[in-house]
Amino acid sequence: MTRRAYGLTLLLLASCDTHMSGGRMDFTPVPQKAENATSFAPPPYPFDIEAETRMPAHCIHHILAANLISRSGSPAVPVTVDSEKGIGFLSPSEDDIGVFNDNDDHLDDLPDISVEKVTTVSGTQETFITRLKQLTFAQGHVEKVRAAKLGQMGDDRKSDKRPLAILGFDILGNYNVLLDIPAKRLILFIADSTPDCPSLSEVVGGKTFQTPLMNGLSGADNLVTVMLDGKPIGMHLEPSSNLSVISRKDALGSGLTEAELEQGDRTNTLNGETLVGYRYAYRAINIGNWHGGAFSVNVEPVNYNLLGLDFFRHRRVLMAFPSGMVYFGDEQPDSEIETHTRGLSPLASHIAHSHVRL
């Protein structure tokens, strides 16, 4: 998982062409018919733009829609990388597109165009950068785009559900990103801000809460202030982390003591061999004008904090990156029963029982 200074801006649009301008990749929309101002190719299932977004169709310029693969694990959608089919995870805390090149025989051969030193959630490392011929998602695609090589995730190189990509802020940051895990839906759209168009807060529906976005570690606006037991902690939006995580430094700086951490269970790496931190339950969480109850986090030796899947899993969340706001509702039930329970997360910790505490 990579981070770098935010600079490359990608725009993934339905029916669009690309061109280079000043060393930066831009996208020129194909002209639309006058009677159809919204750039949209329907997904392969019933889809009503106004019902899904709660906005008039004329208020939306471009829209991409996809069903999530599953409600289990981190939110993922079907993607195609250089003709190889698999899944891509939503990761707004990551600046770049990433590719799991070791999950596919063809992607094994992607060329290295540079090596960059990057800060990951757990440390600093050198990462190979490659260039993809094409990345397709929903009704849009980008061509000749740089991506960070992420190696391997999982062990199935044949399935069309194998992890192939991370969709980072370089794509997501251009959109209003509506993530509705209970309904298994992901919608990316660009909205009009004219007076006759409703506020984006209407998109969530029902009782809506909101909070502003702030600069994260790399300068991208992907961080929110989370009040944990009354103490502010900046946390990057990251539904691709199976649990919310804060650094040991920030936990102790917020008033927790070593003795309080010792009362919680330990957390370990995925192979269960190394204990890396603690599981701690705060009594109350507040985000913007929302006031919640107990909220558990992993306290680990990380470089930055993550507001993970445990926040996103049961609610409809609009990450309005162009306007710097997040809108979300209360927790809600799933729209249907799902028998499939296996899910993956590219950023994951396991909770170890207290009896393994060293």
Of the pLDDT bands very low, low, confident and very high (cuts 50, 70, 90), residue 50 is very high
Q: 55-84, pLDDT tens digit by residue?
A: 999 999 889 999 999 888 899 999 999 989
pTM listed for this prediction: 0.85
pLDDT 10s digits, 175-233: 999 999 999 999 999 998 888 999 999 999 999 999 999 999 888 999 999 999 999 99
pLDDT at 301 over 60: yes
- Whether residue 137 lies inside any domain: the answer is yes
Are 167 and 253 found together in one domain?
no
Domain extent for 83: 16-178
CATH number at residue 31: 2.40.70.10
Nearest to 189 by CA among 57, 87, 327: 57
List, for residues 120-157, the tens digit of each pLDDT value. 777 777 889 999 999 998 888 888 889 999 888 865 55
For the chain, give the mean pLDDT.
81
> Taking residues 19-32, what's their average pLDDT?
32
Residue 183, domain member (yes or no): no
- Does 90 map to a domain? yes
Beta-carbon count within 10 A of 143 CB:
14
pLDDT at 262: 86
Q: Which of 161, 178, 195 is the last residue of a domain?
A: 178
Q: Per the domain annotation, does 4 fall within a domain?
A: no
Same domain, 164 and 59: yes
Judged against a pLDDT cut of 50, whether residue 24 lies above it is answered with no
Looking at the fold, whether 157 and 75 belong to one and the same domain comes out as yes
Q: Provide the pLDDT for residue 228.
A: 96
Distance from C-alpha of 147 to C-alpha of 131, rounded to nearest angstrom: 6
Question: Do residues 247 and 117 lie in contact, with contact meaning Cβ atoms separated by under 8 Å?
Answer: no
Q: Determine the pLDDT at residue 322.
A: 95
Find all residues with CB under 8 Å of 180, minimum gap 6, and list them.
Answer: 186, 187, 316, 317
Give CA–CA dist 32/18, Å, rounded: 16
User: How many domains does one find in the chain?
Assistant: 2
Any idea which of 150-164, 276-290, 302-316 has the lowest mean pLDDT? 150-164
Dig out the tokens for 4 from the structure.
């770098």
Q: Would you say 63 and 32 are in contact if contact means Cβ atoms under 8 Å apart?
A: no
- Model confidence over 229-285: pLDDT tens digits? 999 999 999 999 989 999 999 999 989 999 999 888 888 765 455 657 899 999 999
Residue that wins the pLDDT comparison between 355 and 73: 73
pLDDT band at 117 (very low <50, low <70, confident <90, very high): confident
* 81 and 58 Cβ atoms separated by less than 8 Å: no
Q: Which long-range contacts (CB under 8 A, 24 or more apart) does 133-137 make?
A: 133/82, 134/80, 134/81, 134/82, 134/83, 135/79, 135/80, 135/81, 135/97, 135/165, 136/79, 136/80, 136/81, 137/12, 137/64, 137/66, 137/77, 137/78, 137/79, 137/88, 137/167, 137/171
Do 246 and 297 meet the contact criterion of CB atoms below 8 Å apart? yes
